Amino acid sequence: MANQTTVTEFFLLGLASEPKLRFVLFGMFVIVYSITLMGNVIILMLIWLDSQLHTPMYFFLSNLSFVDIWYITSIIPQLLANLWIPKKTISFAGCVVIMTGL
């Protein structure tokens, strides 16, 4: 039998080890996440509601807003969870999902 070690999770050793700094970073990322999410939702709603904005330029702008919502919603919640909880790990599947943006 050979050693058959498999990777099931990664340990994240990055942002902050001090509790006060983790709370400051958590607050800043929550604020930036909320502003970004609200701004993109407002852009999508305005384009959808105003018939004068149904042009190709605004179609692509709405797609850009949708993709931005998609990406920040797949990445930022994991970052916030890792700032909040003491166990800083991510599963291999979770890492693949974040890296591919699924």
pLDDT in tens, 61-76: 999 999 999 888 888 8
What predicted TM-score, i.e. pTM, was given to this entire model? 0.73
**How high is the pLDDT of residue 1?**
65
How much is the average pLDDT of 28-37?
94
| Four-CA torsion 42, 48, 50, 54, nearest 10 degrees | 120
